[in-house]
Amino acid sequence: MSETSDPKIIEKEKKRKKPVFSLNDMVTHVRRNDLARANRFACYINGPLGIDADEREASMMVEEVSVPGLNLTYNPVKIGPWTENRVSNVEFYGDTAAITFLADTEWNSRQYFESWMKEIVNPVSKEVKFYGDYTGEITVYSLNRQDEIIGEWTLHEAFPRVLSLTPLGHAAGEGVARITVTFSFLKWTPGKKGDRRSLLGKFLNLRFGTLEGQLKNSVKNTINDLIDDTIDTIF
């Protein structure tokens, strides 16, 4: 126990010496609340407008995705014989996320990301579109046994950066082809805790809400282009 006269700290340190729960408490808690299952998940790819492919099919074919993390950076500070690692910043752990997709017989999931990347950079003219026109959102859901959402994490301003090679070979036998896409994103945010809405309802809200924002951006960019063209014509 540290040397202090503060009664609150003394009481807190006394409690630390006592077990805060028993094994029976843990078993009861797990039986009542279940555990999060790694194979009970969904991932929704919400790309920008104008992609000539079906994002719903791409979302359905997600085989593996990781929940994003956080990384606290720190600076060591020397205090006498000790060194304290004092936190200086927080980073959204990894500004990239890799998602693995199963390939269907028409390669629709790969086609979706090929189309998205061609919307970012024109393969002929090499012209790059405005940032707001080619970014989207990716949301990862953890589900319970009733397909209710128990966890939610959204990657904001995301876009596919790397479409990895897809190896094909006779040695693979009847194995399923897989597609790995690495996304860049600005940040991620968690969903509201305890919001156990159905997955279908959440998808609908996400889609229409994002469409509204994309349409506003599209109209704004069109107006700006018209203004620029008018100025060029006059002068």
| pLDDT tops 90 at residue 2 | no
Strands 187-190 and 178-184, bridge-based pairing? unpaired
Q: Determine the average pLDDT of the residues in 168-178.
A: 83
**CATH numeric code, 36-68+95-222:** 2.30.110
- Assign 100 a pLDDT band (cuts: 50, 70, 90): very high
Digit-coded pLDDT (tens) for 126-166: 999 999 999 999 999 988 888 888 889 999 999 999 999 88
* Domains of the chain, residue spans: 36-68+95-222
Sign of torsion over alpha carbons 60, 64, 69, 73: negative
Q: Between 175 and 195, name the one with better pLDDT.
A: 175
Of the CA atoms within 13 Å of residue 162, those in its CB half-sphere come to 11
- Assign 66 a pLDDT band (cuts: 50, 70, 90): confident
Q: What is the pTM of this model?
A: 0.68
Distance, in Å, from the CA atom of 21 to the CA atom of 25, rounded to the nearest integer, reads: 6
Q: Determine the average pLDDT of the residues in 2-19.
A: 66
Q: Tokens standing for 181?
A: 């896409």
Digit-coded pLDDT (tens) for 79-94: 888 888 888 887 766 6
